[in-house]
């Protein structure tokens, strides 16, 4: 029971349900009280002890149905009376014990000298075949399957555990002595292969989902965001939300961790001189950290339309991570969107911002002028200013002098550009001129680069 539960917890984690060790212990205690007899009660028990949200309940319910549903043993093609004679293993075994061969086209008693698996296939003993497949799957370590490319390997392992070579020998013997029975055994072997393939596919869904998703996400994280197709864009949005959640969980505003720094040995000894140097009281070297203050300026013009959603999602996460964030979006002009990101959910905020100012023709000079009027006074030596854009000005005045003043007033000016470095300065790109006044300039063409940049900015305040 314990081993089965461990496998189920592992499959549930792969389905996206976060299960802590204490929660798994609680679930095991509950299962020890109710047992495995009633599947509905067992299912409800898992939902009560492990699921924390509606999504968890849905994922856990699907995982439970898949895990506790054994693969159906495929029936070999045969005549109607064959199926009636082979409905249960017990009837086939009774006929074999009595030595009676069914008349007509019905299944005859298995020949002597055949392997147990051949006899079960000829008798169509579904319970015995299912138990044999379960034992062979355990011996072949089917729970270790991770990728769809391993299906053939594990299918071969299970068939070897079931004695596929002996089944071939039995088939050759029957071909020489009893062609009719050999035909039935061949059909049974083919049905056995189908059942094993179904069992491997089911195991892949249970145990390979997490690894397959991680592999797909890893490929997606390194793919240029501007070259994604529509299906990949939807997957990327899910990935960006996962990145935002990790940032929120690691650097969330309510989470206040006391950073004591390193032990100050000299002061500790002096402080405890009255106790003979025994360190009853300790003194720590604390590092002073500035209160985080971030201003984010995001280009949502048509030239970066394919990546602007991802930029806005990351800025949205900053509002949940850092207490003092002001956000601006621009194309032909600049507007403040802090209230939208603070008060609306992510999807609604993205749509409202893009409707307000998105998809226009970018004018960096005019947008910097708007920023100077709206928020330049708010830039202090404790402020980190983040600009997300491609720096393509459509051959208009770039107003780099305003960016210079911003750089002189702020603690750090960071520019994140979705274009490759090879095209900076080509055409209407003013990136080399802007980069002169930036402390950090990074290419953020992929989700991995974007996550690393935002993480480094937030971590500097922790």
Q: How far apart are CA 444 and CA 446, in angstroms?
A: 6
- pLDDT-derived band at 400 (thresholds 50, 70, 90) equals very high
pLDDT, tens digit (0-9, with 9 covering 90-100), for 127-159: 888 888 888 988 888 888 877 788 899 999 999
Mean pLDDT of the chain: 80
Query: In sequence order, what are the beta bridge partners of 415?
Result: 387, 441
Q: What is the pLDDT of residue 232?
A: 74
Q: What is the pLDDT of residue 72?
A: 62
Q: Is 184 exposed, middle or buried, given 0-12, 13-18 or 19+ CB atoms closer than 10 A?
A: buried
Helices (H), 208-256: 209-221, 230-251
Q: Is the pLDDT of residue 118 over 60?
A: yes
Q: Is the pLDDT of residue 106 over 50?
A: no
Q: Give the end-to-end CA distance of the chain in Å, rounded to a whole number.
A: 45
pTM exceeds 0.95: no
Q: Is the pLDDT of residue 87 over 90?
A: no
Q: How far apart are CA 14 and CA 66, in angstroms?
A: 13
- pLDDT-derived band at 292 (thresholds 50, 70, 90) equals low
From the centroid of its chain, how far is CA 272? 52
Q: CA nearest 102: which of 91, 89, 117?
A: 91
Q: What is the pLDDT of residue 346?
A: 77
Q: What is the pLDDT of residue 112?
A: 59
Mention every residue, 6+ apart, whose C-beta is less than 8 A from residue 268.
279, 281, 282, 283
From the centroid of its chain, how far is CA 126? 37
* Cα distances (angstroms) measured from residue 80 to each of 107, 120, 178: 11, 19, 21
Least confident of 365-369, 427-431, 448-452: 448-452
Does residue 330 sit in helix, strand or coil? strand
Q: What is the pLDDT of residue 32?
A: 86
Give the position of tokens 């330049």: 376
Q: What is the pLDDT of residue 369?
A: 95
Q: What is the pLDDT of residue 324?
A: 81
pLDDT, tens digit (0-9, with 9 covering 90-100), for 198-225: 888 888 877 777 676 777 777 888 888 7
Q: What is the pLDDT of residue 289?
A: 56
| Residue 236: both structure tokens together | 């990327």
Q: Is the pLDDT of residue 91 over 50?
A: no
Q: What is the pLDDT of residue 260?
A: 56
Query: In sequence order, what are the beta bridge partners of 326?
Result: 295
Q: Is the pLDDT of residue 89 over 50?
A: no
Q: CA nearest 364: which of 410, 433, 313, 422?
A: 433
Contacts 24+ apart (CB under 8 A), 176-180: 177/111, 178/111, 180/108
User: What is the H or E stretch that residue 180 is in?
Assistant: helix 179-207
User: What is the H or E stretch that residue 43 is in?
Assistant: helix 39-50
Tally of CB atoms within 10 A around 395: 9
More reliable by pLDDT, 225 or 91 = 225
Tally of CB atoms within 10 A around 394: 14
Q: CA nearest 189: which of 170, 209, 214, 161?
A: 170
- pLDDT-derived band at 76 (thresholds 50, 70, 90) equals low
**Backbone φ and ψ of 288, nearest 5°:** -80, 130
Beta strands 325-330 and 293-299, pairing class: parallel
* Cα distances (angstroms) measured from residue 351 to each of 225, 321, 340: 19, 22, 10
pLDDT, tens digit (0-9, with 9 covering 90-100), for 365-389: 999 999 999 999 999 998 989 999 9
* Cα distances (angstroms) measured from residue 242 to each of 16, 173, 247, 295, 336: 12, 59, 9, 23, 26
Does residue 385 sit in helix, strand or coil? strand
Q: Is the pLDDT of residue 7 over 90?
A: no
**Backbone φ and ψ of 276, nearest 5°:** 70, 25
Q: What is the pLDDT of residue 461?
A: 56
Q: Is 273 exposed, middle or buried, given 0-12, 13-18 or 19+ CB atoms closer than 10 A?
A: exposed
pLDDT, tens digit (0-9, with 9 covering 90-100), for 231-276: 777 777 777 777 777 766 665 544 444 455 678 888 888 888 888 8
**Residues 302 and 391: beta-carbon distance below 8 Å:** no
- pLDDT-derived band at 288 (thresholds 50, 70, 90) equals low
| Residue 211: both structure tokens together | 């690894």
Beta strands 334-336 and 325-330, pairing class: antiparallel
* Cα distances (angstroms) measured from residue 214 to each of 121, 145, 201, 211: 40, 14, 18, 5
From the centroid of its chain, how far is CA 192? 34
Q: How far apart are CA 298 and CA 185, in angstroms?
A: 69
**Residues 200 and 151: beta-carbon distance below 8 Å:** yes
**Backbone φ and ψ of 441, nearest 5°:** -130, 125
Does residue 359 sit in helix, strand or coil? coil
Q: What is the pLDDT of residue 399?
A: 94
- pLDDT-derived band at 77 (thresholds 50, 70, 90) equals low
Q: CA nearest 69: which of 223, 255, 199?
A: 199
pLDDT, tens digit (0-9, with 9 covering 90-100), for 336-358: 998 988 888 877 888 888 888 88
Half-sphere exposure of 297 (CA within 13 A, CB side): 29
pLDDT, tens digit (0-9, with 9 covering 90-100), for 36-60: 788 888 888 888 888 888 888 888 8
Q: What is the pLDDT of residue 303?
A: 78
């Amino acid at each position: 029971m314990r081993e089965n539960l461990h496998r189920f917890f592992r499959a549930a984690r792969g389905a996206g349900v976060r299960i802590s060790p204490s929660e798994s212990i609680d679930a095991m205690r509950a299962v020890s009280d109710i047992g495995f007899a009633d599947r509905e009660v067992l299912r409800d028990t898992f939902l009560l002890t492990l699921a924390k949200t509606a999504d968890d309940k849905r994922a856990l319910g699907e995982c439970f149905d898949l895990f506790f549903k054994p693969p159906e043993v495929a029936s070999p093609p045969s005549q109607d009376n064959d199926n009636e004679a082979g409905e249960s293993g017990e009837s086939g075994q009774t006929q074999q014990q009595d030595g009676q061969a069914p008349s007509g086209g019905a299944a005859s008693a298995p020949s002597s000298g055949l392997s147990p698996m051949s006899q079960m296939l000829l008798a169509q003993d579904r319970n015995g075949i299912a138990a044999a497949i379960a034992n062979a799957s355990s011996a072949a370590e089917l729970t270790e399957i991770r990728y769809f490319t391993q299906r053939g390997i594990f299918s071969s392992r299970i068939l070897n555990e079931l004695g596929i070579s002996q089944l071939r020998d039995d088939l050759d013997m029957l071909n020489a002595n009893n062609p009719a029975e050999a035909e039935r055994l061949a059909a049974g072997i083919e049905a056995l292969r189908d059942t094993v393939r179904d069992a491997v596919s089911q195991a892949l869904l249970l145990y390979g989902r997490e690894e397959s998703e991680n592999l797909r996400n890893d490929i997606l994280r390194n793919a240029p965001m501007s070259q994604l197709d529509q299906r990949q864009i939807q997957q990327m949005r899910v990935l960006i939300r996962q990145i935002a959640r990790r940032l929120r969980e690691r650097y969330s505003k309510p989470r206040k961790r006391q950073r004591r720094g390193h032990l100050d040995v000299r002061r500790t000894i002096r402080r405890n001189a009255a106790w003979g140097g025994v360190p009853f009281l300790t003194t720590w070297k604390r590092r002073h950290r500035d209160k985080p203050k971030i201003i984010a300026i995001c280009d949502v013009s048509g030239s970066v339309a394919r990546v602007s959603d991802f930029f806005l999602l990351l800025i949205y996460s900053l509002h949940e991570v850092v207490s003092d964030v002001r956000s601006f979006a621009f194309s032909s002009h600049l507007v403040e969107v802090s209230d939208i990101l603070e008060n609306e959910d992510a999807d609604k905020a993205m749509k409202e911002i893009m409707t307000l100012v998105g998809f226009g023709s970018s004018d960096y000079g005019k947008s910097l002028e708007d920023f100077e009027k709206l928020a330049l006074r708010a830039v202090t030596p404790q402020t980190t200013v983040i600009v997300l854009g491609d720096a393509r000005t459509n051959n208009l005045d770039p107003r780099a002098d305003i960016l210079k003043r911003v750089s002189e007033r702020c603690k750090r000016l960071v520019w994140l550009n979705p274009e490759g470095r090879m095209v900076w300065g080509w055409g209407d790109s003013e990136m080399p001129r802007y980069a002169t006044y930036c402390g950090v300039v990074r290419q953020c063409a992929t989700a991995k680069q974007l996550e690393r940049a935002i993480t480094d900015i937030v971590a500097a305040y922790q």
